[in-house]
Structure 1
Amino acid sequence: MHDLSRRALLVGVVAASGARLAVPAAAQQTDAPPPAATPTPAPFGYQDIVKRARDLAATPFDNAIPPLPDGLATLDFDGWRDIRFKSDKPLLGQDGANFRLELFHLGHLYKRPVVINVLRDGIPAPIPYAANLFDYGRAKLGPLPINLGFAGFRLRFPLNAPHIWDEVIAFLGASYFRFLGRGQRYGLSARGLVIGAPPRLNEEFPFFREFWIETPDATAEHIVIYALLDGESATGAFRFDLNPGQETFIDVNATLFARKPTPALGLAPLSSMYFVGKADRRYADDFRGELHDSDGLLMHTGAGEWIWRPLSNP
């Protein structure tokens, strides 16, 4: 009895298996679990640039600069300045947005192209070069390469009056940048990093190789800019949080990686130019009474004291 029951059970199992094997393929597909969904990539952000900077520091420094077409390479300052970005080309948000992005053309002293990306919903999109983005004024230039690139960029914002978009910050050349508060004019410039300094050391000029600009809401009064710095001795990732206003504030976060030992680093550096001002005698060969970007140093101490020191040219 026990053996027969076992045989009957075995037959039943085989029959059941056979019946299941005979089920049409369509029914099997219906019962199969759905395929796993493709994971949504994380939004691009500061840590992605930190990784880029770390990886870049582990590779040899590449200082190659593609040669510019002759017409651009030989431009003087006035000729380069005559190349203007067309303000009717919105690159950041819509026409009525608070922040407007404008690009600087290569030429004159600005020979190194930089990559400029716009971040929309955490996805970076590089801005392709197009000659029709610019008005070339009196500059006589032949056909330009389609992948020429840009020298830098600036942001405009209604800083001093509604519906008038003033330049509020500019990134142009090496790691230089400068920004304005309400009613101000440009003076000194900030730099991402200083390596070495004259007269005792040979100064290096690390440069911002690539930028990412977050697309803010149309009414936003704050914007975020990311940058990748490269140089012979160091690399770095930067985040700039810009808040324009009566007093314009910019919060800077940076992560640096050494490519080789460096003799001296300058963090949060400022630089300016001074030739002659109120404190100096006038030079006989110039009709202007003052020649400078800055004419003094103003300091606000932790004790609340304001200190002013005029500059002089010894």
Structure 2
Amino acid sequence: MIMDGEASVHATTDTLTFGTVILPNLEQDNTDRNRTSPFAFTNNKFEFRAVGSEANVSDANTVLDTAVAESLRDFADALEGVPADEFQEAALAYCAEHLRAHRRILFSGDGYSEAWEQEAERRGLCNYRTTADALPSFVAEKNIKLFSEMGVLTEAEAVCRYEVKLEKYNKLMNIEATTMVREARRTYRPVITAYATKVAKGLETIRAAGAEAAMAYEQATLNDLCDGITAINESIARLDEVHAKAEAIADGQLQANCYAHEVAPVMADLRAAVDAMEEIVAADYWPVPTYDDILFYV
């Protein structure tokens, strides 16, 4: 191991044969194929796979390239003037020193597992779960210093980008919360209520005919529908309350924190309440394509 002061031996490349003269023999890939690593080193390059589907990759590339450039600069400065016959030994010593200093970030297991999250926390690594939590890192003192020293962004430019991203996040959350409340009130709740009314009228009609014992299932369905409508109404009321609280906050970061940690959880509760009703309400009542339609009949 390099950290122990010894150079590691490179893995040899094997040949994959197919046992036929028609297909050529192929060299097997001996590089790191850990597909769960967000930043894997694959033989002669790094692969970064943690950019969100809607994110612009230039932001992540700017940060990563700046950090790599600083590391390469420090490496070049440390080995500047080292004689050629001593270079390999000095380079290995430099690598060993930095691997020992930063080995807590190295992980070869399943990067998606809860076990890794717990291990990362034990190692003292950051795990920002929301945009609101992550954005302040862009203007952290050490990061502004990095951007400035490498000539990538001035402090004013970094702060400007942070504020623009913060404003975008708050506006999007405001739009999503507003839209969600309107959809729940005007699209979903009315049809759920209408279907509950149909079930209730059917129960009343059949009971009037003297078939009370056969209606246990329908009564349970009606109870579930009424409970669901109550849950939706309660979630709408809570969302209105926390959304109004978020809108009243003038500070952009504090507003983002409120959206991330107070508004978003209530939005998740409202979605769960509406989704639960999709399994009960008749398909011809449901106002949008059901998950069943989308998954199995498209």
TM-score (norm 1): 0.23
TM-score (norm 2): 0.24
Greater fraction helix: 2
Greater fraction strand: 1
